[in-house]
A and B are shown apart, each in its own frame.
Chain A
Amino acid sequence: MKKVIVLLAIFIVLAFTVVAFAQTMVTNPDWWKKAAEPYKGVTIKGISESTPPSRAMMEVAGPQFEELTGIKVEFEVTSWDEMYNKTIQDMQTGSGIYDFVYVEQDIIYAYLAQNWLTNLTPFVGNTAITNPDFDLPDFTSFIENFKDSKGDLYAVPFEAFLKSYVYRTDLFGDPEIQAAYKAKYNKDLAVPTTWEDYTNIAQFFTEYGKEKGIELYGHIAQAKTHPCVAYEMCETIWPAWGIYNWGINLEKMRASKANGGTLDSDQAKAAFKWYVDMLKWAPPGVKTYTWDETAATFGAGKIAQGLIYLENLGWWSDPAKSEVAGKIGVALPPVVPQAMEDAKSGKGYIGYYDGGALGIPHSSKNKEAAWLFAQWVARKEWQGEFAKLGTRVVRKSTFDDPIVKDLDPKMGNYFTFLKDEGPLFRGAPPLPMHRPLNELYLKWVAKAVAGEVSPEDALDNLAKEVDALMEELGY
C-alpha cells in the first residue's frame, strides 16, 4: 500500500511538472496551432553558427515547434565559415534552400545592400501570422541593428551578448597573491581600468604560474591566422583605445589619415603594437587560438584575466563542464580616458555588443512558416529558459525573469552588467563590404602577429589597401 502511495505521489508531482513546463513553454498554444494550420506538413530549413543559442534553438525550440504546429524544422548548425559560405551562396544564387538564416549583427549591412533578406515589417502587421504577444517594443535596443534606414525590420534577434573583461575572482581575492602583487607593483591587485594595469597583471600572473610550476597565464587572445584575429583588433582592442569603426571614416569611407580615417594613426599603431607585444604573456599556443580555444582555455582554468565573448558564461558557470564555475568576475575592459568619454556621449564605444538574429532569405519558399518559427524562438515565455541555455538576452522583460535573476549571481552578475553597461558597447559599423574588408584586415594583422612585418608597417599598408578596396567597390 505504502509503495502505491509513493508511486502515486511521484506520478502527481511529475504530471504537475510537465503541465507547469508546458505552460512555461507556451502560453497560447491554440493561437500557434491556428496560425500554423495552413503550413502544416511544410518543412522549413535553416542554418546557423554552432553557438550555444543556436544549439538551443535546434535541440529545444525546433522540436517543440514541430510538435505543436506540425511544421517540420530542419536546422543545420555548423562552423562560422561554413555558415557564411552556405548562406551567401544560397541567397546570391536564389536557390531557396534555406527558409531562415543566421544574420549576425556585423553582416546585416552587406545582406541589406544586396536585397537578400525579406522585409518583415509587413509580416508584423499581419495578425493572422503574428503572435499577439510578439511585443516588438519589448526587444532591447539591439533590434535596431536589424532595421534598414526606413525602420523596416529584416531579422528577429535571438542572441545578444558582450565581449568584455573576465577574471578569476578566486585568484584576485587570494591574500597570498594580493601580497605578492603589492610587493611587486606597489599597488593593490584589482580589476584593471587602464591598459598599463592590465599589462602588469598579465605579466604578474604568467610569471606567477611559471614560478609555481602551474599552467596559469595572465593574458589570452584569439591570435590565429583566422578572421577572428582581425575581429579582435576591430571590435575589442581598437575601440577601447579610442579607434572606432575599424579606423574607417564612415562618411568618406576611407581608412587612411590622409583621407580622414584613423587606421594608420599613432593611437591605432600603439594599440596594435601593444596587442602583438602582449602575446608573450599568453599561453604558448595562443597563435593557434580562435574564439573557441580562447573560451576553452579560460574554462580550463589556465587564464587569470582576458577579453572574451561572454556568451561562454553559461558553460563556464557549470561545474560539470568548467574549472572556473563560481570563480568568475565580469567587468568593463580597460580603456583610454577618451574612449569612456566618447562611449558615454555616444560618439564612440568601448567594446563589442555582438549577437545575431533570424532572417528570411528573399528566395525562401516558406516565408510565413519561417516567420512563425522566428517568433516562436523569440516568444517571451521561453526567454528565461533560453537565457539559461544560451547566455543571451534580446528582450527587456527577460532581465526580470526569475530564471535570469537566479542565474545572475552565478555568472558574475553578467545579466545586470549587460543591462546596465550594454549601452557603452556597440555592434559592428555599417559596412556593406564587411567580408572583403575582414579579409584585408586579416592579411595585415596576421602578418604582424606572425612577425612578417612590424605593426606600424602593417597598418600603413592596410590603410592604403582599405582605401583602394573602397574605391574599387564604388565607395
Chain B
Amino acid sequence: MKGNRKQVWGLLAPTLILIIFIGVIPVIYILYLSVFKYNVFSKIGMVYTGFNNFRKLMFDPDFLKSLRLGLSYVILCVAIELPLGLAFANLLTYEYKGKGIFRTIMTLPLAMAPISIGAIWVLMTNPDFGPLAVYLRNVGIDFNIGNNGTQAYIATILMDVWHWTPFVTLTFMAGLSSLPRQPFEAALVDGANKSQTLRYITLPLLKPILLTTLFIRVMDTFRVFDEVWMLTSGGPGTATRYVSIHVVRQVLQSMNYGYSSAMSLFLLYLTIVICWLLLTFINVSQESG
C-alpha cells in the first residue's frame, strides 16, 4: 500500500509541479502585487497600500462600466447560444438530404482560432467594403461598427454566437444521443406531441448537460478577449470595453500592475462565485431529478 502511494505521488508529481508553476505561484504573486500601488513607470516605486486597490475598484466608474458590459455580454451570448444550439442539435437528430454538409459547415467556426474569427468579422463588418455592412446598407440600414456603439456591441455578440453555437450544438447532440429511449416511447404511446415531448421529457433529461454547457459558456464568455480585441479593440469609445479587455489595457498599456492585480483577483473571485452557484444548482437539480 505504501509503495502504491509512492507510485501515485510519482505519477502525479509532473502535473502538480506544472500547476504550482503556472497556477499557484502566479496567483500568489498577484495577491502580493494587489496590496501595492505599483506602476512600472512610477518614480516612487512600489508603495504598500493594504486593501486600498480593492476599495478603489468599488468606486471606479470605468471598471464598473466594463464589468456591467461584460456581464450583459455573457448573459446575452449564453441566452442566444443555448436555445440555438439545442435547436440545431435537435435538427441534426433527423435524417434529411444535405445533413452532412450542414453539420460540416456549422462546425467550421469551431475549428478556427479566436483571433482569426476576429479578423474575419473585421472584414465582414468593414463599413467601407464589408459584405455585412454593404448588404445592410442596401436594405436601408446604416451599419457602421466604428460609428455606432450599439451596433458594435451587437456585432461582438453575433460573432460569439457564430463562433460558439456549434460547440453547444455538439454538446447537446452528445447529450441527446445518450438519452434513454423508453420515456420517449412511452410519450409516443400516450399521444404527446413534439413540444410536449421536448418540454416534459427531453429538457428534464438534458438538464445536467444543459447546466454543464451553461457553466462552460459562462466562464468562456466572461473572459472573452481575442475576438473582441481584433474587431473593436473595446470601442467605439467604451461601447465594447468588456471587463477582460479593461484589465488587459490596465496591465499592458497603463502598466498599472498593483491595481490591475486587484482587478484580476476580484474577477477570479466573481468567477468562483458564479461557478459555485451553477455547481450548486447542478447538484440540487441532479438530486431532485
Q: Mark B137-165, 1 if CB is under 8 A from A, else 0.
A: 00000001111010000000000000000
A178 within 8 A of B: no
Q: Using a Cβ–Cβ cut-off of 8 Å, how many residues does chain B contribute to the interface with A?
A: 31
Nearest chain-A residue to B240 (Cβ)? A225
Closest Cβ of chain A to B42, distance in Å, is: 5
A450 and B252 contact, CB distance less than 8 A: no
* Known A-B contacts A225-B232, A284-B144, A450-B235; A473 and B127 likewise in contact (beta carbons under 8 Å): no
**In the complex the two chains form, what is the Cα distance from A322 to B39 in whole Å?**
44
Closest Cβ of chain A to B198, distance in Å, is: 42
A331 within 8 A of B: no
**A472 to chain B: which residues have CB within 8 Å?**
37, 39, 42
A287 and B147 contact, CB distance less than 8 A: yes
**In the complex the two chains form, what is the Cα distance from A226 to B239 in whole Å?**
13
Most chain B CB atoms below 10 A, which of A110, A226, A287: A287
B254 and A446 contact, CB distance less than 8 A: no
A438 and B126 contact, CB distance less than 8 A: no
From A225, A438, A439, A474, give the contact of B235 (CB < 8 A). A225
From A225, A283, A288, A439, give the contact of B254 (CB < 8 A). A439
Q: Using a Cβ–Cβ cut-off of 8 Å, how many residues does chain A contribute to the interface with B?
A: 41
Closest Cβ of chain B to A113, distance in Å, is: 7
**B37 to chain A: which residues have CB within 8 Å?**
472
Q: Mark A348-360, 1 if CB is under 8 A from B, else 0.
A: 0000000000000
B253 and A473 contact, CB distance less than 8 A: no
A114 and B40 contact, CB distance less than 8 A: yes
**In the complex the two chains form, what is the Cα distance from A287 to B125 in whole Å?**
13
B149 and A113 contact, CB distance less than 8 A: no
Interface residues of B in 165-211 (CB under 8 A from A): none
**A443 to chain B: which residues have CB within 8 Å?**
62, 238
B6 within 8 A of A: no
**A451 to chain B: which residues have CB within 8 Å?**
237
**In the complex the two chains form, what is the Cα distance from A85 to B60 in whole Å?**
25
Could you count the A-B residue pairs with CB atoms below 8 Å apart for me: how many are there?
A: 101
B128 within 8 A of A: yes
**A447 to chain B: which residues have CB within 8 Å?**
237-238
**In the complex the two chains form, what is the Cα distance from A154 to B122 in whole Å?**
39
**B145 to chain A: which residues have CB within 8 Å?**
288
B271 within 8 A of A: no
A92 and B40 contact, CB distance less than 8 A: yes
**A423 to chain B: which residues have CB within 8 Å?**
none
Stretch among A41-49, A138-146, A184-192, A429-437 lining the B interface: A429-437
B41 within 8 A of A: yes
A227 within 8 A of B: yes
Closest Cβ of chain A to B20, distance in Å, is: 19
Q: Mark B57-68, 1 if CB is under 8 A from A, else 0.
A: 000001000000
**In the complex the two chains form, what is the Cα distance from A283 to B41 in whole Å?**
38
From A285, A289, A435, A449, give the contact of B144 (CB < 8 A). A285
A251 within 8 A of B: no
Interface residues of B in 29-48 (CB under 8 A from A): 37, 39-44
* Known A-B contacts A283-B128, A443-B62; A435 and B41 likewise in contact (beta carbons under 8 Å): yes
**B43 to chain A: which residues have CB within 8 Å?**
113, 473-475
* Known A-B contacts A286-B146, A435-B253, A436-B254; A113 and B237 likewise in contact (beta carbons under 8 Å): no
A227 and B253 contact, CB distance less than 8 A: yes
A436 and B127 contact, CB distance less than 8 A: no
**In the complex the two chains form, what is the Cα distance from A473 to B43 in whole Å?**
6
A452 within 8 A of B: yes
**In the complex the two chains form, what is the Cα distance from A452 to B148 in whole Å?**
11
From B39, B126, B233, B239, give the contact of A473 (CB < 8 A). B39
Nearest chain-B residue to A110 (Cβ)? B41
* Known A-B contacts A224-B146, A225-B236, A450-B235; A439 and B253 likewise in contact (beta carbons under 8 Å): yes
Q: Mark B210-250, 1 if CB is under 8 A from A, else 0.
A: 00000000000000000000001111111100000000010
A283-B127, A285-B146 given; name 9 further pairs at CB < 8 Å. Answer: A88-B40, A225-B236, A286-B146, A287-B146, A287-B236, A435-B41, A447-B238, A472-B42, A473-B43
The 7 closest A-B pairs by CB, nearest first: A225-B235, A450-B237, A287-B146, A474-B43, A285-B127, A288-B146, A450-B236
Q: Which residues of B contact A (CB under 8 A)?
A: 37, 39-44, 62, 122, 126-128, 144-147, 149, 232-239, 249, 252-256
What are 17 A-B residue pairs whose CB atoms fall within 8 Å in the complex? A113-B41, A113-B43, A226-B235, A283-B127, A285-B128, A288-B122, A288-B145, A433-B39, A433-B41, A434-B41, A436-B253, A436-B254, A436-B255, A440-B254, A472-B37, A473-B41, A473-B44
